[in-house]
Amino acid sequence: MIDNRQICALYFMKKYFYVAAVAAIALTGCAKTDVAVSEEGDRVISFDTYTQRTSTRASVITTDTLKASASGFGVFAYYTAQNNYSSSTKPDFMYDQAVVYNQGTSKWEYSPVKFWPNKTGDKVSFFAYAPKADSHISNISGNNVAGDPTMTFSIDTAIVRQIDFLVADPMTNLTKQQVGGKVSFNFKHALSRIGLKVQAVVDFVNPDADGDDDDDNTSSQLDTNTTITINEVKLIGDFAKSGSVNLNTRAWTLSSQHDTAFVWKSANMVPSVRSHVTSEIQDLVSDGNYLMIFPATMNCKLMVDYTVSTNDSALQNCSVMNNVVLSSPFPYTFDAGKAYSINIHIGLTSVQFDVNVTPWDVVTPGVVVNAPVNS
């Protein structure tokens, strides 16, 4: 456990996401073919999207940011006639199809437009991911490969270059929909998100181990002459740098895990918070600077570089102390689609005084002086 004079404790707090619905959106169609159709005519395959609700951040994909994206999302579709979807099926209906929101028409659009099969009972299964066409995505399974669509996603070691990654709930064995019906994708965050909070903890001994949830914080107020500045924070753990995801099961197969440090520098933090840590807990991470990692169980350590300055008019300069502290390793399980906060407690122990006056030590026998000396 970190010494209380440095960092009392840190802990994780889970925040759960909820699904938010967006307005239904239709797609434009193309000219009819010569294929025989039902009395109701061709029905265009249209898409609607839902994403887990999160706070608006540049590095997090929401419904609005997905609409604003130039790449949109990618779709795989499998036509299986009267049969249910199985691992022997190939993506012969749509393959990594880009679907992009048109701000001018307020519609999700793709090309070439596809139509539902008209034979009663024929089935199509859909799988989707977002964002489409990003440098962090590679090794997409081929259009001649049977089975669930897969791809590799890479985690960037630089937090500012990281992106959110979404995988939709699979929509399997769908039959021809009514006119105006849509394939409604419910996108979920496939990674785990980590943010930072910070608090000055004064003259409080935290009995909890690193990684524990310790809400019972009875910290005293920080003296107004003291300023705490966070210079750098590192999260060190056995992180995987890449992984293959199955768009049907949404399961990850991760590469070997390595001891990696993700670094938040001063530019990645909220300026007013990092330069003025208070006794109240505050968000330390600035917009767009969440850490994205693969869901996994691992041992973690946190390193914090911070400075404590005290104004004292009696001194020639301010009293300045720089501290670099490292927590003990602690295990933690990160789940997909969940946002975590590392709560950093900057522990300060005030210099206090006590007084004890030592009593006189009376020497016996006393010193004899004869004045004058009697002879």
For the stretch 295-337, pLDDT in tens is: 999 999 999 999 999 888 888 777 888 999 999 898 899 999 9
Evaluate if residue 58 carries a pLDDT over 50. Answer: no
Q: What is the pTM of this model?
A: 0.80
- Indicate the CATH number for domain 17-189: 2.60.40
Same CATH fold assignment for domains 7-13+192-348 and 17-189: yes
For the chain, the structural domain boundaries read: 7-13+192-348, 17-189
181 pLDDT higher than 90: no
pLDDT of residue 8 exceeding 50: no
pLDDT at residue 215, as a whole number: 57
Match domain 7-13+192-348 to its CATH number in 2.60.40, 3.90.320, 2.40.10, 1.10.287.
2.60.40
In this prediction, residues 332-357 reach a mean pLDDT of 91
What average pLDDT does the chain have?
82
Give the 3-state DSSP-derived string for the chain, with helices as H, strands as E and coil as C: CCCCCCEEEEEEEEECCEEECCCCCCCCCCCCCCCCCCCCCCCECCEEEEEEECCCCCCCCCHHHHHHCCCCEEEEEEEEECCCCCCCCCCCCEEEEEEEEECCCCEEECCCCCECCCCCCCEEEEEEEECCCCCCEECCCCCCCCCCCEEEEECCCCHHHCCCCEEECCEEEECCCCCCCCEEEEEEECCEEEEEEEEEEECCCCCCCCECCCCCCCCECCCCCEEEEEEEEEEEEEEECEEEEECCCCCEEECCEEEEEEEEEHHHECHHHHCCCCCCCEECECCCCCEEECCEEEEEEEEEEEEEEECCCCCCCCEEEEEEEECCCEEEEECCCCEEEEEEEEEECCCCCCCCCCCCCCCCCCCCCCCCCCC
pLDDT at 219: 66
